[in-house]
Chain A
């Protein structure tokens, strides 16, 4: 098969949604395989590996993102139902919730405010554009919600998605190290902090380290989703509106 044949075949295949969907699952499987091969080293994050592989493939073949997304949207769509499904792990923490409800709500509001206020303040000091600021503000909540919030306050949802994922990876890789340095040893507090600041990616990491940390992380992530969705649009319009 000559080069033009391959090019033509790719042009044909790239218009099929099946291709984008298949590439997504294959790239993630490669990422997950590497992650397990390296004894679950957080640096080998399957999401990062998958994104890098697909981005390179799109670049090499000159395929526009929109064409890729026609297939990938079937995976992307599941973010909505998965967000609803977070109610189940949250419900499993109902007893903990009831026992320490005021403290937990206070902790979630505190973490949510520190995460978004310090992000916006620091990026503003370093000269970020207003769209970048609005895209960064909800970076500590899970992607679908963060994208919705960013859209609401005038950010760029695609940039938000990138920042949210990068936040999760920073939290999952460096978070435990920094907490060790600070001498923080309570698994519940450590998991809680990971969930508030680094959403699903932080929670996945917390579950791998310790069951209690994972449960508290899931609880904090779920409540933070609600807290941030309620506070950021309100505060944003109040400060900048």
Chain B
């Protein structure tokens, strides 16, 4: 468990160093994600301790957003000033992105082999 967590941190640290050193626009943890992904492909069978550690970190992924979200208290003035564009952009563009991407992918992805990949008619509404 400790070794797995250390490995995750090493990937992140390498990512941060590369981002800083080569002045990359990509944040360090994303480079770390890439490094870990490449490592997993090379290793083929990731050790169970590593996948367990990753799964444990991700079970309550949404908890990790709370401290940053509370930062809303520092942004109240800006939110008051720009509330209309912010609200409109959040709702309209998020739903537009969801519907257009779902539509595009339902046309492009090869037809599902099994019926469990689509909703039976009765549940769809």
A contacts, CB < 8 Å to B: 24-25, 27-28, 45-47, 50-51, 54-55, 58-59, 65, 68-69, 72-73, 75-76, 78-91, 94, 99-100, 103, 106-107, 110-111, 114-115, 118-120, 122-129, 131-132, 136, 139-140, 143-145, 147-149, 152, 156, 158-159, 161-168, 170-171, 174-175, 178-180, 182-190, 192-194, 196-198, 200-201, 204, 212, 222, 225-226, 229-230, 233-234
Known contacts A91-B37, A128-B82; is-contact A79 B64 (Cβ 8 Å): yes
B contacts, CB < 8 Å to A: 5, 8-9, 11-12, 15, 25-30, 32-34, 36-37, 39-41, 46, 50-51, 53-55, 57-58, 60-75, 78-79, 81-82, 84-86, 88-106, 108-110, 112, 116-119, 124-125
Interchain nearest-CB distance for A7 vs B (Å): 20
Contact of A170 among B72, B90, B109, B124 (CB under 8 A): B90
Is the CB–CB distance between B12 and A81 below 8 Å?
yes
CA distance A164 to B89 in the complex (A): 12
Nearest to B27 among chain A residues (CB) is: A148
Interchain nearest-CB distance for A45 vs B (Å): 8
Interchain nearest-CB distance for A186 vs B (Å): 4
Contact of B30 among A46, A88, A174, A225 (CB under 8 A): A225
Contacts of A165 in B (CB 8 A): 65, 68-69
CA distance A88 to B94 in the complex (A): 26
Is the CB–CB distance between A212 and B69 below 8 Å?
no
Nearest to A159 among chain B residues (CB) is: B75
Is the CB–CB distance between B41 and A91 below 8 Å?
yes
Is the CB–CB distance between A180 and B125 below 8 Å?
yes
Nearest to A80 among chain B residues (CB) is: B29
Is the CB–CB distance between B50 and A88 below 8 Å?
yes
Contact of A51 among B32, B70, B79, B106 (CB under 8 A): B70
Nearest to B121 among chain A residues (CB) is: A185
Contacts of A167 in B (CB 8 A): 90, 94
